[in-house]
Homo-oligomer: A and B are copies of this chain.
């Protein structure tokens, strides 16, 4: 059994039980919707009590419950350049702004990177008369290159 089979099973149960991510988050005891959804999509790990609740909610077996607590081999995309338009737009941001991010972050912080590990993110709806906006806020610890 693989993690992606668990993801398929969860998505199938979610669909048949008409569960929303909001409901799922509540059933699993709250937390960040991004982090919890990412775990159920096979990219993060759940704590034991969360996995227990997920197993109950989605009718998962023992191994599936354990897999949710295991570190997955990450990478959710089938192709290096994503084909889905919603996902592609984020890739496009990397293509368009990649070198700009590098200039501005390294001017402000020095040589180093924004961590994608010590990292968090939130997605919100920002009401706007011209059409509501998706607001994404992310913070990542700045990690300076170590001179040695």
Contact = CB atoms under 8 A, between A and B. Distances in A.
A60 interface: no
Interface residues of A, number: 97
Nearest to A116: B89
B83 A74 contact: yes
Interface in A105-148: 105-109, 111-121, 123, 125-126, 128, 130-148
A76 to B, nearest CB: 4
A108 B81 contact: no
Interface of A: 1-2, 8, 12, 15-16, 20-22, 31-35, 37-38, 41, 43-45, 47, 62-63, 66-67, 70-71, 73-77, 79-109, 111-121, 123, 125-126, 128, 130-148
Given A16-B62, A44-B147, A87-B102, 5 more contacts: A1-B12, A37-B104, A85-B96, A126-B139, A133-B139
